[in-house]
């Protein structure tokens, strides 16, 4: 496999990760927190109406988790395609 091909594969995989993670990002914040919030408010978690909880708490926790998943995936990907900086 040539170097060129390797890099194309890396970038494709990166874009794939991005689209999955950003879909989750969109669904949780704009979906659960805004568009579906009135409907989700029919359900409760403890004292929280669910839509309200996603809007003011849940989405923020999910944002943090998404970034760390991305860091994990990318570090693994860097290793796999040999573009990680340690070897430089």
Binding site for other proteins (CB under 8 A): 7, 10-11, 14, 18, 21-22, 25, 29-30, 33-35, 37-38, 41, 45-49, 52-53, 55-57, 59-61, 63-64, 66-68, 70-71, 74-75, 78, 83-85, 87-88
Contact criterion met (CB below 8 Å) for 5 and 79: no
Shortest Å distance, C-beta 1 to other proteins: 15
Shortest Å distance, C-beta 10 to other proteins: 7
Q: What is the DSSP letter of 42?
A: T
In what helix (H) or strand (E) does residue 59 lie, and over which residues does it extend? helix 59-80
Task: In whole angstroms, give the CA distance from residue 33 to residue 58.
Answer: 8
């Amino acid at each position: 496999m040539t170097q060129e091909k390797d890099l194309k594969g890396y970038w494709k995989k990166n874009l794939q990760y991005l689209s999955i993670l950003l879909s989750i990002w969109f669904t949780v914040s704009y979906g659960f927190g805004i568009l579906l919030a009135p409907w989700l408010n029919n359900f409760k978690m403890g004292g929280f109406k669910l839509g309200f909880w996603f809007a003011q708490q849940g989405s923020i926790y999910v944002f943090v988790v998404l970034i760390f998943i991305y860091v994990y995936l990318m570090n693994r990907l860097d290793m796999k395609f040999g573009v990680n900086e340690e070897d430089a």
